[in-house]
Chain A
């Protein structure tokens, strides 16, 4: 092998390792929902290329209110689905839409756009 081959191969392999680490090895402790006077656990979620925050921690058996605010027009993110809670909502751009439900079981539940390309996680404790 010529030196250029060795260098290029090593660099590209390093890039692959980086991709694996970057996309698949992430750990996120999540954002804990805040309490409102009405007893809801409330979180504001920005929808723009993804959900910010995308890992949300809530308590079991207490009502949850997720306020989604979509600030983009790409049609990808126009629906948000929480299949485990049988909830879904259409998110018009520039508006805040509340999704309310009561988690009855502890565990990790995904929420995602209709195509499943952007996703978030709800951790119920």
Chain B
């Protein structure tokens, strides 16, 4: 017997509850069903052997009501056959509280619909375990997957290093005995053409074999796998190079009579072993360095809280963060990490949000404010209601966006891809052409030179450096952005951001705070400024008008005590009227005073001056006398001026766009130092204005909020959305700035430029390396300078060229945003 409590939407009357109750009781296996209209809850006692949660929900649905289940995606371990599917699904659906379970064999992931509060993750896991499998959290962005990824990398590194040491140790005697003519003693003991020399070289060949077979095994398996697809890669080049050297040496030792003179029958086993050792070492170092490129994402994932303290049935429970469901009340104490996203319901505190927004100043939180998971509570205690959990939290979204972006391609890479497709076969053909030339017209011993040139050419070419150049830099750059509260959606956005030459800033909410604040209090002299403000604020205390709120906040900031207003009345189109402390007060426009015969002409100059500054001035009259002016205005964000200066210094034309009238717009523009203003722009015209700028031949970025400005953001070459904490997954934008300030735009530009510079350095380096290295290896310099590369040098160059690329990309990790207020 099990009990299920089901939340049901759409029940509005007693009659409805009756219908649900009857429908449920009619189901086989249901022994009791009570429906509570006030709580929208149905309590059902039933026998899980006879009826599943799904049928119960079905019965509710049939009556036209909506039960509200939650969804969960988990992975199943140990799944081997298609027949397991039904087993697992049945086991899950039999569990009380589970609505449905659908398993995808291919991905081993199961989608579970369940009744929140009814079933715990532990019970789900138990059900799956009973059917012989294991339920594990999905691979998506979980800490486990990163750990496993890291250990996979670590394993690969250690494996490669073992192979390297083996090849390196074997290389020492191989090198030593390969050049007996240069070593006194050895020269006499194994002279050219002697039996001693042939026997020693034969033995060397035998010890070389395991180096190729084990240390070099990945070259052969890699080559073979590629050949099956009729493609070629780095492994193809290395494998054919070392094989050519090995086969030649073997022929020279076994069949010296095939060569015209003894001197030609020379083995160079050392080429095979040393090349394997060096290239494997290069691969190991590359794996190590590549691990560092994804450091930023590891840091982000490490931010996730592990446990949460929630209130269930009146008790505070510490539960794993995965089990927190939407609607849970979560208790947070000083020093705690916020486990999931939510809204504060009681208490207050200040939170360190720097890990998410990049903003280092703690943020005050009061009831009604949003809190972001993974941020740290500093001072007070509070309770919040979970609104987003699991993969819906801001942090999970950020991680997913960063991972997606790191996997994306910059447009420049499409060019590189084209090159890569032809690269390896081209190098093979070049090597063979060089072989023909050296064999036909080269100096004696021709065969030796031809082979060496072929092997050197195959080995020096490094497609890896080309292939690694862009992705490694992008990974580091995009990760660096995330660390600074800047989410770059794709490599495309990053590359375009570098080409920008104009930037359009939305005024309200982007340059300015987007909410009015008190700016000026001017008294004619009869009443002190503070008194004037206190009286007006008292009058506006109950007001919900944003201008009124601004005045009240202004008075509170000056720590004025506010009395209570009586006889409050709003006069539409004019202002407000009321009595405070026995004074009769009027607040509004000139018309309000005129209508009552109050003279305010000597305030006109001040009024006009304030209005010209883009402020909203209001007249105040006390006891039938014009007393002064109070002005409110949308205020400029603290860092806007500096940020705009920095953007201009980067060579961008800064344009302000707003729906406000020209006077207000110009006033703000003057204050922040913007020359070009697009005022009176209707919301639907914003995208059109961007288009006009683009037609002027500009590459335009648009900075605005993600909702009202979405079409303009999409039209711009790069759309930057200013986020406010949790809504990070803003679809229309290419770049999202989590911290709502313009400094982020400057930092985003700096990151884009630094990253693209790094990409170009890498690409340039890799191209130049191959363009110079391959011809030199082919021996084009030999006729002029007698210079010919040794295959050993080629191997070292090849191994370190790709390491250099990754190391250069890693330099970006030390990027620090410059200037601005950050």
Contact = CB atoms under 8 A, between A and B. Distances in A.
B139 A81 contact: no
A117 B409 CA distance: 14
Given A15-B432, A16-B432, A19-B428, A75 B106 contact: no
B350 interface: no
A125 to B, nearest CB: 22
B408 A115 contact: no
Nearest to A17: B429
B107 A49 contact: no
Given A73-B152, A114-B407, A116-B417, A5 B429 contact: no
Interface stretch (B12-20, B80-88, B228-236): B228-236
A92 B148 contact: yes
A20 interface: yes
Contact of B228 (A16, A50, A79): A50
A19 B425 contact: yes
Nearest to A5: B440
Contacts of A88: 404, 407-408
A116 B416 contact: yes
B155 interface: yes
Given A93-B152, A116-B416, A75 B436 contact: no
Contacts of B404: 88
Contacts of A73: 152, 155-156
Contacts of B646: none
Interface in B466-485: 467-468, 471
A50 B225 contact: yes
Given A88-B408, A92-B139, A116-B467, A50 B425 contact: no
Contact of A49 (B222, B408, B422, B439): B222
Given A8-B436, A67-B106, A20 B417 contact: no
Contacts of B403: 90
A1 B440 contact: yes
Given A83-B409, A96-B106, A118 B226 contact: yes
Given A9-B439, A116-B416, A117-B467, A19 B229 contact: no
Contacts of A92: 139, 145, 148-149, 152
Interface string A36-63: 0000001010001111101000000000
Interface in A88-116: 88-90, 92-93, 95-98, 110, 112, 114-116
Contact of B463 (A15, A50, A117): A117
Contacts of B231: 23, 50, 118-119
Interface string B486-509: 000010000000000000000000
A80 B420 CA distance: 16
B732 to A, nearest CB: 14
B108 A96 contact: yes
Contacts of A50: 225-226, 228-229, 231
Q: Which of B106, B155, B428, B467 lies at the interface centre, i.e. has the most chain A CB atoms within 10 A of its CB?
A: B106
A21 B631 CA distance: 80
Interface in B402-425: 403-404, 407-409, 413-414, 416-417, 420-422, 424-425
Q: Which of A44, A49, A81, A97 lies at the interface centre, i.e. has the most chain B CB atoms within 10 A of its CB?
A: A49
B436 A9 contact: yes
Contacts of B433: 16
Interface string B424-444: 110011001101100110000
Nearest to A113: B467
A42 B106 contact: yes
A26 interface: yes
Contact of B407 (A15, A42, A48, A79): A79
Contacts, number: 129
**Interface size class of chain A, counting residues whose CB lies under 8 Å from the partner chain:** 35 or more
B153 interface: yes
Interface in B244-299: 287, 290
B104 interface: yes
A115 B107 CA distance: 25
Contacts of A83: 408-409, 414
Contacts of B424: 23
B440 A116 contact: no
Contacts of B409: 81, 83, 114
B226 A49 contact: yes
A72 to B, nearest CB: 8
Nearest to A4: B439
B436 A96 contact: no
Q: Which of A23, A79, A95 lies at the interface centre, i.e. has the most chain B CB atoms within 10 A of its CB?
A: A23
B267 to A, nearest CB: 20
Given A50-B228, A115-B471, A98 B107 contact: yes
B464 interface: yes
B7 interface: no
B218 interface: yes
Contact of B233 (A20, A72, A117): A117
A75 B224 contact: no
A59 B421 CA distance: 27
Given A67-B107, A75-B290, A52 B421 contact: no
A117 B463 CA distance: 8
B561 interface: no
A76 B236 CA distance: 14
B240 to A, nearest CB: 10
Interface of B: 104, 106-109, 139, 145, 148-149, 152-153, 155-156, 218, 221-222, 224-226, 228-234, 287, 290, 403-404, 407-409, 413-414, 416-417, 420-422, 424-425, 428-429, 432-433, 435-436, 439-440, 463-464, 467-468, 471, 490
26 contacts: A5-B440, A9-B440, A12-B436, A16-B429, A23-B231, A23-B424, A49-B224, A49-B228, A50-B226, A52-B228, A52-B229, A67-B107, A73-B155, A73-B156, A86-B490, A89-B407, A92-B139, A93-B152, A115-B464, A116-B413, A116-B416, A116-B421, A116-B467, A118-B226, A118-B231, A118-B233
